[in-house]
Chain A
Amino acid sequence: MSELSERLAPVSEIREKKALPVRPDPETAPRPDLREELFELEARGELIVQRVPEPYVEVTTKFGRVKKVPVDHLWHHKSCGQCGHIPGYTTSILWLNRQFGIDYHDPTDQTSCTGWNYYASATSNAAAQILVMCRNFAAAYETGYYPLIHCGTSYGHYKELREQLVHHADLRDQVRRVLDKLGKPLVVPEEIVHYSEWVHVMRHRVAERQVVDMSNVTACVHPACHYYKIVAEDAIYDPDIYGGQRTATVTALLQALGINVADYSTWFDCCGFGFRHILVQRDFTRSFAVLRKIEVMRDEVNPDMTVTHDTGCVTTLDKSQFAAKAHKRRVGVPVLADSQVAALAMGAHPFRVLQLHWHSTDWRPLLEKLGIDWERHWQEFEEDLAAIERGEKPGLTWEDAERPAIAR
């Protein structure tokens, strides 16, 4: 044995060490805690930090730091892609809030983050983007509710913009000048919280009220890039989920619901959304979504569904499958958001709440496997539609959708 190999640890030892769950020490975190810098700016009178209201749940993030996730008093920062094209995504989030008696505010004083456009076209600049964010934050602060960000891109974008705001005094001055003009204070929330983090901390309460047995279902998880890659240290990690090597969000919920989460080799790949590509250059989007995600899942684990937690990912993975089917590609995996899976587990109506008719890839086999009589529920929904068309009903309300439609 050479001198060098004597000094090196045996491979078996390295393997054993690598198999141990990752429990990072926040003291050795490679980047400073931005929240501390925020509080310093507040102490200097530069801005207001909106505190996470009680009750909240403490979770650990990538570097082992603690993040407070508020449970109640939520200001729903909606997502334009969800509300515009997959409204069952938003409806499910709010339905869950209502089921748990959460005090929430669904604002009309909200714009989207406009980040999708920025990432697609660059027809904006840093100051405008920070101001759009701060205008929304100020609007939330004025109501006394705490912002819960529905879109993964808004969440990632806001984390990055918050960092730019904290690190560049000139940007802060410019932002404050325009906010003054709008009569708004410069407010930044203590934590930027994604809705899937709220679902994550509520997962055991969801499981307690689960009426649909999901133990015969296999799911693949697509973790959303803008959730855990942009400002990575804010995403939730848990040593019990993937040994703390990947974000725990979504996977922990599915496991709590008894779903078999199956791993696949391209889990780190993005979905192919591309921001500009999904709108004007979809050949890239379709090819990537099918060849690098859906087909890999089909070939490696053949899941009953794919679950993700962002607007673009649900859109891309769901809508890209139709054209690929015509090319005889191995597709046909229904795509749901975690909020929809949680709501379905608690018996939400597949159409009044999950609004599955807005999804393009066939979800019927999944519902059948779960023992849900989708035809009966579709008939109920068609009656709603007919009543709306006859002018007997102006539209559906929570009164129509609130009560769980599926019994144990």
Chain B
Amino acid sequence: MSATWSPAKAGRTYAEVPEEEKRRLFEEVVADPRYEDFLYGCYECGICVSVCPSARFYDFSPRVIAQALSREDVDRFYEILMEDIWNCAQCFSCVRCPRGNNPGGLVTLIREVAVRHGLEQAQEALQGYSRVIYKIMLKGNQVSPDMLQPDFFPDWGPWVREFSQHMHTWRKAIPVDTLRSVTDAAWRTDDRTLRELYTIWFETGNMEIIREVDEGLYELLVEIMEEELEARA
């Protein structure tokens, strides 16, 4: 079941939200330079739905997304923004679209708007995800061995417990120089490389995006990154 879907929300039309507000957010999606490469209209053929994993398990349809955007149906767009987008698995099976659309790409653009505006639904969908953002922004790696903890991955079985008991030894028993003994990142990265990465985050406004999702995390990250960049300067 979706983190953003609940029976209380089912069938909500967001009638109380002013039309102008919905249109403003819609226009933001359309203004993205990638938009014109991702949507060319829609035949309503449903090919995207037939290959979509999320359509199989959730009340979700890439066809509806392509349709709503093509018709500039801002009411339906707003429902998609608030409820549907976080169900997409971003597999891009839907690019099989005979019209040349990229419904998964449209979802990415809508998600970016949801995150940029710090919408409650985006924050809800990203609950429990902050430690990953912390890792990716600071280390340039999405995951690391020390994230494999039994309380976080109970469904992966006793293997995770065994691993976490032996992590340091198992990690030393890897013959690849850049991986050996590293547990807080996926591989050993130069400090200079990470400073360059921080510069990219600052220069492209990426840190402001993080602020919208998690203010506390943003402050923590900025403090660490600025200290590192200033120490070097």
Return the contact of B155 from the options A109, A177, A282, A353 (Cβ within 8 A).
A282
Also in contact, A94 and B173, with CB within 8 A (given A139-B193, A229-B93, A277-B89): no
Interface residues of A in 351-403 (CB under 8 A from B): 351-353, 355, 357-358, 360, 381, 384-385, 388-389, 394-398, 400-402
- The residue from B90, B147, B199 contacting A181, defined by CB atoms under 8 A apart: B199
Interface contact A268-B51, CB-CB below 8 Å: yes
Q: At the interface with chain A, which of B19-27, B61-69, B124-132?
A: B124-132
Distance to closest chain B CB from A45 (angstroms): 23
Known: A84-B186, A112-B140, A319-B156. A398 touches B125 (CB 8 A): no
Given contacts A273-B89, A275-B89, A396-B175, contact A111 B145 (CB under 8 A): no
In the complex, A319→B163 CA distance in Å? 13
Contact residue among A117, A121, A288 (Cβ-Cβ distance under 8 Å from B57): A288
Are A84 and B204 interface neighbours, CB within 8 A? no
- Give the dominant DSSP class at A's interface: helix
Q: Return the chain A residue nearest B209 by Cβ.
A: A123
Chain B positions within 8 Å of A268 at CB level: 51, 93
A287 touches B57 (CB 8 A): yes
Chain A residues closer than 8 Å to B16, beta-carbon distance: none
Contact with B196, one of A125, A135, A394 (Cβ below 8 angstroms): A135
Chain A residues whose CB sits within 8 angstroms of the CB of B166 once the complex forms: 385
Q: Within the complex, what minimum Cβ distance (angstroms) separates A1 from chain B?
A: 31
Contact partners of A118 in chain B: CB under 8 A? 108
Residues of A in contact (CB 8 Å), total: 97
Q: Is B178 an interface residue (CB 8 A)?
A: yes
Residues of chain B contacted by A292 (CB below 8 angstroms): 53, 56
Beyond A110-B189, A225-B93, is A276–B140 a contact (Cβ under 8 Å)?
no
Instruction: Tell me if A87 and B142 are in contact (CB < 8 A).
Output: no
Chain A contacts for B188, CB-based, 8 A:
108
Known pairs A125-B205, A230-B92, A276-B125; A395 contacts B173 (CB<8 A): yes
> How many whole Å from B169's CB to the nearest CB in chain A?
5
Contacts A135-B200, A178-B199 given; indicate if A396 touches B173 (C-beta within 8 A).
yes
**Which residues from chain A sit less than 8 Å from chain B, CB to CB?**
78-85, 87, 90-91, 94-95, 106-112, 114, 116-128, 131-132, 135, 139, 156, 164, 167-168, 170-171, 174, 177-178, 181-182, 184, 225-226, 229-230, 232, 268-270, 272-277, 279-284, 286-288, 292, 319, 322-323, 351-353, 355, 357-358, 360, 381, 384-385, 388-389, 394-398, 400-402
Q: Which 6 A-B pairs have the closest CB atoms?
A: A111-B140, A322-B157, A122-B111, A395-B172, A270-B91, A84-B186
